[in-house]
Amino acid sequence: MDKVFLDFSVQIENVNIDVRVDYLNKFYNIQNSSFSAHTHAAYEAYFIENGSMSVVCNDQRIELKERDILIIAPGTIHNISSCSNDLKRFNFRFVLCNYMNTKSEYPYLVYQDERLKKEIFSAIESIHLHISNKKSETDLFRIKAYLSIIISHIVDHMFSFSLFTHEEEHSDILAKCLQIDNFFSDHYAEQITIAQLADELHFSKTHTNRILKKYIGMSFIEKLMHTRLQAAKKHLMSNELSVNEIAERCGYTTLRGFELFFMKQTKMLPNEYRKKQQINLKQSK
């Protein structure tokens, strides 16, 4: 399960918003391959530092270039369709605990305020510096401070475009979506069934499948395969584990089964993917 990286409150227009950042990463061109369509229970923010990329949100293509910022609302089905070879992007997901929108007319927002964009990218540069240092609690404190600045700007901008609403029903849906995400993150290596997830949610199997399709954008099997694929890609970024060990950690009983699955999803074998990412990583330094 992704570790909660940041937990804080933002006061905007006399409204207190609790924010939890549950995912933080710096993606360079080591992650420029396309991803299958998926959705999150949280907001996701993309910051394009260099190069360009094409993202599809609810069947609408968005072309992003250097210094662009894209905010994707919860429940929006999206995928990265293409990236330039020199792409460098920073992204994270965050949850607004009091505010949630699963049926907004604005499934995404491209940030337009040039002055605030300058401040945000300056904060991102500072985050990179402290992530690379990572020498003390002071660095972590400063990373949190800069993230607070970024999210404060984002949330302030989102108010203007009604990217979220405040409804009790949506908060309940958010809680269930987070519970689903956590279930797959905790158990993807096991031989799990939709009946187990239904028991966890206290729903019937039929209603659980309906929730998965409507708010996660995938069936149970599709969500499980997607979670396993992302875990495998993460392990393949280093040489700490053999491909056989990665297969076992991702719930596969045979190496051949894992290789066939990985080939179908990425058009390359796990070892080929590992070599390609390591070459890209060296080129990005």
Domain residue extents for the chain:
6-160, 188-284
44-58, 132-146, 239-253, range with the lowest pLDDT: 132-146
pTM value surpassing 0.75: no
Question: Which tokens is 39 given?
Answer: 């959705």
pLDDT at 278: 80
Question: Whole-angstrom Cα distance, residue 42 to residue 145?
Answer: 21
Question: What is d(CA 43, CA 78) in angstroms, rounded to the nearest whole number?
Answer: 12
Place of tokens 């799990």: 192
Q: Does the pLDDT at position 167 exceed 50? A: no
CA quadruple 29, 34, 39, 45: dihedral positive or negative?
positive
CA 265/CA 259 separation, integer angstroms: 10
75-83 average pLDDT score: 85
Q: Give the number of other Cβ atoms within 10 Å of residue 6's Cβ.
A: 18
Q: What is the pLDDT of residues 213-261, one digit of tens each?
A: 877 778 899 999 989 998 998 899 888 899 999 999 999 999 999 999 9
* Structure letter (DSSP) for residue 213: I
Q: What percentage of the chain exceeds 70 in pLDDT? A: 74
What pLDDT does 79 receive? 86
Comparing 33 with 248, which gets the higher pLDDT?
248
The CATH number corresponding to 188-284 among 3.20.20.70, 3.40.50.2300, 1.10.10.60, 2.60.40.150 equals 1.10.10.60
pLDDT at 194: 95
d(CA 108, CA 46): 11
CATH placement of domain 6-160: 2.60.120.10
Q: Token pair of 201, please?
A: 């949610």
pLDDT at position 246 is 96
* Position 75 confidence tier, pLDDT thresholds 50, 70, 90: confident
For residues 61-68, average pLDDT: 90
pLDDT score of 19: 59
